[in-house]
Chain A
């Protein structure tokens, strides 16, 4: 059953949530003991070193990965109690690697509508919203540049009109101007339409701009959480001070062991500059 978005509801609530993997006969926690709430209609910037568990955190919200411990609630309902398809329509995810579906740009942009038997959206309007020319509609999607693909991936997700938008490094392949267009588009939806955004970024300046709250994830735990100004200016933990003040960025990058966050993080090169802020 769908639950309507509500201003006074928590869009997301994590209760001691965790996710583990078995590797070489050993259990490794990608994420452990995560607690916290995200107010509907706000934007949370998730920052932290590579392999910290940020992408895993996102994938628990739309059940692309299942929590192995604790609970994750979306609009008051635990993710496993949702009809999965309804949940994923309500909680959109823009992946780090912008994978294009076969066919043209138009095919990609109308994919969500076709999946749900909904009327096809105005492709030209969508393209202009993400700063791309309407002529692009009939181009094979695989021929686009990385930056164009990333914007198409975002637009493709927005066609579903999600109430929560999860962005995993969604502007990492974009130049400054294109990144600003995407950022403005998402934040306009947050401020004017009550969209809730959870945005994983390595760019601390971006985190400062977009985040009503900032969550710092390190070694599979949320080590700092609070209003952006407070977290960035006066981190409370040693981890926060090390990461945010950049006194030991190399150490921070090396600290969380092992591979990156499961299925959502394949083949990514994180930008060191972003982590040093």
Chain B
């Protein structure tokens, strides 16, 4: 796509801004900032990726994955404000998911260890793990508050924190996996996934594009399940103090 053609698509932004002004929504400034930020961020990442692909070094590829996981953990850990040490817990959950999922794809030779494969697929796995983590932390607190009486009964009977919070963690895991499962159910019917669309537009065989997309879809289901379960195991203890009293 030429820059001239790309520039033409700014018409969409201008139209949205025009509609906002007409209906007095007051969103023009936000729309402009969002468009500029997206352009700058995507152009920058485009040049970074070009450099990383050209160098094609394992250390650089790994550094990119680490950076993505740190940003994802920082973003997701903004949820669950009252859970101490949540950044490291989220990061560990995200990274363990990335290692297991990507490790399986590499070990089974589904994809080669090349930055052009590792980075985009890692991005999707980590992004999905980030969303699942944020949802989990959000729901964990809500569920713990909603089921506080039940936890109290179990604690008075001598339950461990794990036993007392079992239903709370289970409900939070289920709730945080629903978006991934729902979007998987409607895939191809409601929306064509971004990766597949991109490949088709770039000239790839649609069947090949579908195969890669299915690979990602399956990996994402596993990643959501793995992330939330690891995060559940790492965070349930923070719902209680040293005397096994609920603190949420």
Q: List A residues at the B interface (Cβ < 8 Å).
A: 62-66, 80, 84-86, 88-89, 92-93, 95, 97, 99, 101-102, 111-112, 115-116, 153, 156-157, 160, 263
Contact call A112/B157, Cβ cutoff below 8 A: yes
- Asked if B183 CB lies within 8 Å of chain A CBs, one says no
Beta-carbon contact of A80 and B243 below 8 Å: yes
Contact pick for B158, options A95, A102, A116, A263, CB 8 Å: A116
B111 CB within 8 Å of chain A: no
B56 within 8 A of A: no
The residues of A that contact B154 with a CB separation of less than 8 Å are 101, 111, 115
A88 to B153, CA, bound (A): 11
Check B158–A99 contact: CB distance below 8 A. no
Residues of A within 8 A of B149 (CB): 97, 99
Residue of B nearest to A263 (CB): B152
Partner of A115, one of B150, B159, B167, B244: B159
* Residues in B90-120 with C-beta less than 8 Å from chain A: none
A77–chain B nearest beta-carbon distance, Å: 14
Instruction: Determine if A88 and B152 form an interchain contact, defined as CB atoms under 8 angstroms apart.
Output: no
Tell me the interface secondary structure of chain B in the complex.
helix
Docked CA distance A116–B155 (Å): 12
Judging by beta carbons under 8 Å apart, are A111 and B156 in contact?
no
Cross-chain contact of A65 among B150, B167, B245 (Cβ < 8 A): B245
Check if A84 sits within 8 Å of B157, measured CB to CB.
no
Contacts of B167 in A (CB 8 A): 102
**Chain A: minimal CB distance from B184 (Å):** 29
- Within the complex, the shortest CB–CB distance from B161 to chain A, in Å, comes to 10
Q: How far is the CA of A112 from the CA of B245 in the complex (A)?
A: 18
List, in ascending order, chain A residues with CB within 8 A of B152's CB: 64, 95, 99, 263
Query: For residue A157, which residues in chain B have a CB less than 8 angstroms away from its CB?
Result: 156-157
CA distance A135 to B206 in the complex (A): 62
A101 to B152 alpha-carbon distance, docked (Å): 10
Give bound CA distance, A99 to B156, whole Å. Answer: 12
Give B229 Cβ to nearest chain A Cβ, in Å.
Answer: 21
CA distance in complex: A116, B149 (Å): 20
Give Cα distance in the complex from A156 to B149, angstroms.
Answer: 15
Cα–Cα distance between A18 and B44 once the two chains are bound (Å): 61
A-B contact count (CB 8 A): 61
Q: Known contacts being A99-B149, A99-B150, A115-B163, is A92 close to B245, with CB within 8 Å? A: no
Q: Does B160 contact A (CB under 8 A)?
A: yes
Interfacial chain B residues near A263, Cβ < 8 Å: 152
Q: From the candidates B159, B160, B245, name the one contacting A64 in the complex (CB within 8 A).
A: B245
| Cβ-defined partner of A156 (8 Å) among B157, B163, B245 | B157
The 7 nearest A-B residue pairs measured at CB:
A99-B149, A89-B158, A88-B158, A93-B156, A85-B158, A112-B157, A84-B244
CB-based contact B243/A102 at 8 Å = no
Tell me the complex Cα distance, A85–B245, Å. Answer: 11
- Please measure, in the bound complex, the distance between the C-alpha atom of A156 and the C-alpha atom of B152, giving whole angstroms: 14
Asked whether B157 lies within 8 Å of A99 as measured between CB atoms, the reply is no
Complex Cα spacing A84 to B240, Å: 12
Chain A residue at smallest Cβ distance from B153 = A99
Give the CA-CA distance A112 to B160 in the complex, in Å: 11
Contact A62 B245 (CB under 8 A): no
B156 to chain A: which residues have CB within 8 Å? Answer: 62, 64, 88, 92-93, 95, 157
Q: Which residue of B lies closest to A153 (CB)?
A: B153
Instruction: State whether A63 touches B243 (Cβ < 8 A).
Output: yes
List 20 additional contacts besides A88-B244, A101-B154, A157-B157; criterion CB under 8 Å: A64-B152, A64-B155, A65-B245, A85-B160, A85-B244, A88-B158, A89-B157, A89-B158, A95-B152, A97-B149, A99-B150, A99-B152, A102-B150, A102-B167, A111-B157, A112-B157, A115-B158, A115-B160, A116-B158, A156-B153
Task: For the complex formed, measure the closest distance between the CB of A198 and the CB atoms of chain B, giving whole angstroms.
Answer: 14
